[in-house]
Amino acid sequence: MLKRMYRYLRALIFGTLDKLENPEIILDEAVREMKENQVKNRERAVQAITQKNNLQAMVDREEKVARDLEAKATLALQQGNRELARTLLREKGTRDSSLAQLKASLAKAEETVESIKTAIRREDETIRVKTAEALRLKTALKQSQIQIEINKALEGFNFEDTTQSFGRAQERIQSMRSEADARAEIASTSVNARLASLDDAQVDMEAEKALQDLEAKLGMSNAPVAATTPAVSTASQESDIDRQLRELEQKLNQQ
């Protein structure tokens, strides 16, 4: 807890608190702390087992001493040295009292060691589960970050309604098409008018020729024709008419 508070205070000083609040960093820190505690707990378990083994060694040694004292007391009694046998048995009694205390301590140590072993196994299982959970949470975090980036990218897209723009473009194209049709119609009308004018000129020429033929039959070749001669639109047409008139006059004079 003190280390965590120190890290938070240090982060505040250096302006990295936001970085420490990163879920991935928090998960890594939690897993690291669990593994550090695991190492410490295993060290405590080693020390407890070592103490238990030391007690076991002391019990074994005291039991051996007690057995040796009893054997010596038996031998002294067999040799008739009752006083030595009593002294040895008195020392054995003292050893037995100490041995009883050692055995009680050994029993408690063995019970503690078994509890520690059970705790170590549970801690190993907990760390395994928590490590797997941290991996799952980090994967979910990555997916969330990717989704956030995708959403940010989508927010940058422009999906404005362009219906009005398309409508204006369509109207403009239709207007230009109508204008082109109108110009084509005007051009066609002008061409038709010129063709009609040419047709009228041709009709006038044929009528004039028929009139001249009639005048020739009636002997009226000297009749003025300027007043009835229709105006011709082009100089080439007028020259043709004059030529035809001269040819007709020559034919009449020859008759």
pLDDT digits (tens, 9 = 90+) for 210-254: 777 777 777 765 544 444 444 444 455 556 777 777 777 777 676
For residue range 100-144, list pLDDT tens digits in order.
999 999 999 999 999 999 999 999 999 999 999 988 988 888 888
Q: What is the pLDDT of residue 122?
A: 92
Contact 245, 216 (CB under 8 A): no
Q: Is the pLDDT of residue 47 over 50?
A: yes
At 156 the pLDDT is 67
The span from the CA of 130 to the CA of 31, in Å, is 7
Radius of gyration over every alpha carbon of the chain, rounded to an integer in angstroms = 66
Read off the pLDDT of residues 5-35 as tens digits, 9 standing for 90 and up: 666 566 555 555 555 567 888 888 888 888 8
For residues 187 and 199, give the distance between their C-alpha atoms in angstroms, rounded to a whole number.
Answer: 18
**Which residue bears the tokens 């009228």?**
200
* Cα dihedral: 206, 208, 211, 213 (round 10): -70
pLDDT of residue 231: 46
pLDDT tens for residues 89-103?
999 899 899 899 999
Q: Specify the pLDDT at position 64.
A: 93
pLDDT tens track for 139-193: 888 888 888 888 887 776 655 556 676 777 778 888 888 888 777 777 666 656 6
d(CA 34, CA 236): 116
DSSP state of 232: P
